[in-house]
Amino acid sequence: MVKMLNKIFFIALLICISVFSTNENIVRAENPSSAAAATNFTFTQNLYLGINGDDVSALQKFLIADGFLKISTPTGYFGSLTKNALSAWQTSLNIFPSAGFFGPISRGKINAAVVQQTPIFTLQSQNATGTAIVSTSTTTASIATTSIVIASSEDGSPVRLIIPKLNIDAGFQYNGLKPDGTMEIPNNITDVGWFTGSPRPGEKGNAIVTGHVAQIRGGVLTKPGVFSNLGDLQAGDKLYVQNNKGESIAFVVRESRSYNPTADATDVFTSADGGVHLNLITCEGTWNSSQLSYSQRLVVFTDAAQ
């Protein structure tokens, strides 16, 4: 049973860490918060009639998802339809003047509501026949409910991951399981996540660190993730974890392996040799837009430096 749970846990974890995606087919916009999830975008400039660009496309996606803009896909051009739709949205939120000019007040309303749209998977222990199962659903995971924890005491929890070869110097989020059983994951593509159900890096056993490989928008890679080049690591390469005690713990890459999502991954999460290990996990392979995931999982196995 332990082996089965590890296998299924591996599947649940890795599918949900693959990317941030904005699949309009699975977004149900009923309020500004859910509509903002469709954009996965932070607005920084004023928008007005006659301009074009990525910011306009993101605004149009927001207005389409919230039902104000009646076009099928964003065009990137701020025309009269976009202006009228924006004005109607502003009126619905009592933004004055509701003139179809996208300025600081409107930006603030949308940016404050933005959440990340990611597939979340519910881990269940077993079904009526005693077989471990995992049920899937696509849910909006807001930043407010993701555990971004700064430990209040010097307990050895990780604070930074440094991989010189890949020019990575990333902060840690602490991700476990939510009370409803859904998996917590890093809520951006720049941080890494320590799975709090595993040992702290530097303790005996397999510490698990996850990271996104990319941001996907509309089926297109728009930004590389913190682990976009994880596959470049080779045996002998070093990486370092700094913890809240001020210690820097060195690890050496032992090997990398690619896994099928249904593969047995007991060895990723458990270790019986009494050693200190750190396993880095991300996705690789072919992007599947219907499943919002990549076809393979990449695991880099490392051991504490002697």
Structurally, the chain folds into a number of domains equal to 2
Both 298 and 173 in one domain: the answer is: yes
Both 240 and 291 in one domain: the answer is: yes
Name residues whose C-beta falls within 8 Å of residue 298's C-beta, 6 or more positions apart in sequence. Answer: 230, 231, 256, 257, 258, 259, 281, 282, 283, 284
Both 164 and 228 in one domain: the answer is: yes
pLDDT at position 35 is: 38
Note whether residue 20 is domain-resident. Answer: no
Say how far apart CA 14 and CA 212 lie, in whole Å.
Answer: 10
Both 108 and 163 in one domain: the answer is: no
Note whether residue 19 is domain-resident. Answer: no
Sign of the dihedral through C-alpha 126, 122, 8, 161? negative
Note whether residue 33 is domain-resident. Answer: no
Note whether residue 24 is domain-resident. Answer: no
Both 152 and 292 in one domain: the answer is: yes
Both 107 and 158 in one domain: the answer is: no
Residue 98: which CATH number? 1.10.101.10
Both 298 and 151 in one domain: the answer is: yes
Both 54 and 109 in one domain: the answer is: yes
Note whether residue 45 is domain-resident. Answer: yes
Write the DSSP symbol of residue 247: -
Note whether residue 129 is domain-resident. Answer: no
pLDDT at position 146 is: 35
Return per-residue pLDDT of the chain as tens, 306 residues.
Answer: 444 445 545 555 544 444 444 333 322 222 333 333 344 567 788 898 999 988 888 888 888 877 889 998 889 999 999 999 999 988 888 887 788 898 888 887 776 554 333 332 222 333 333 332 222 222 222 222 333 344 446 788 999 999 999 999 999 999 887 665 545 778 888 899 998 888 999 999 999 998 888 776 666 667 888 998 999 999 999 999 999 989 999 999 999 998 887 777 788 888 889 999 999 998 888 877 666 677 788 999 999 998
Note whether residue 11 is domain-resident. Answer: no
Note whether residue 267 is domain-resident. Answer: yes
Both 243 and 160 in one domain: the answer is: yes
Both 181 and 72 in one domain: the answer is: no
Both 166 and 79 in one domain: the answer is: no
Residue 174: which CATH number? 2.40.260.10
Boundaries of domain holding 164: 147-304
Nearest to 162 by CA among 196, 192, 117, 187: 192
Both 163 and 95 in one domain: the answer is: no
